[in-house]
């Protein structure tokens, strides 16, 4: 009964959500695309010809946006789940945290990358501090990978939850990058603890 009630509440929230309805009209796979659009509008991340790596890409709305705006760019999308094709995107099915998958990415791009972006999060437990720490570990994995593969002027974007590991991740970002900002898009739900860390220009 409790699960059915929770599912019903989630469905009702989805139906009322402006961004869910907008994503359907605009042809995007998830409402999360509008978070990336806001980040791009504020920080001017993507330029034509940009080489982008999208980790934890499924269901693919972030990759859809990048594929749409970068006519001469290249995009590599990685996720545990198999995704429907997106334009000319090169897709890798696998665990991003696996060293062999990271090597596959590096071998494919065969050059420095302009942007590494991650909307990865663990399946939430409902215990906010645990969710923050576990998602924070994914963010740190992606950041360490980004610092090794990014161009000097490159950018790293990642979901980050307020909580136990928040300050540690921001400090880690400042260790590797000259410019570090934390931003909560308007399209992020008010009751969500998520924000996004935007790191630019390697030290």
Query: Mind telling me the catalytic residues?
Result: 159
Q: Encoding tokens for residue 53? A: 């790596």
Question: Distance between CA atoms of 89 and 126, rounded to whole angstroms?
Answer: 34
SS3 64: helix
Q: Give the C-alpha distances (Å, rounded to integers) separating 142 from 46, 65, 116.
A: 19, 20, 8
Question: How many residues does the structure list for the chain?
Answer: 203
- Determine if the peptide bond prior to 203 is cis (ω within 30°): no
Residues pairing with 158 in the sheet: 118, 197
């Amino acid at each position: 009964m409790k699960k059915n009630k929770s599912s019903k509440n989630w469905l009702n929230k989805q139906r009322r959500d402006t961004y869910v309805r907008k994503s359907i009209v605009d042809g995007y796979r998830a409402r999360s695309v509008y978070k990336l659009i806001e980040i791009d509008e504020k920080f001017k991340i993507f330029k034509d010809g940009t080489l982008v790596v999208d980790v934890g890409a499924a269901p693919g709305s972030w990759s859809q946006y990048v594929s749409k705006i970068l006519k001469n760019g290249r995009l590599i999308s990685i996720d545990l789940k198999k995704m429907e094709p997106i334009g000319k995107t090169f897709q890798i099915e696998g665990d991003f945290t696996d060293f062999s998958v990271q090597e596959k990415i590096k071998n494919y791009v065969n050059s420095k990358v302009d942007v590494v972006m991650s909307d990865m999060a663990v399946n939430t437990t409902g215990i906010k501090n645990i969710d923050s720490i576990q998602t924070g570990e994914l963010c740190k994995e992606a950041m360490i990978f980004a610092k090794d593969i990014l161009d000097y002027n490159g950018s790293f974007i990642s979901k980050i939850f307020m909580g136990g590991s928040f300050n540690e991740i921001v400090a880690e970002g400042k260790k590797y990058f000259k410019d570090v900002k934390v931003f909560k898009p308007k399209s992020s739900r008010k009751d969500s603890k998520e924000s996004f860390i935007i790191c630019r220009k390697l030290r």
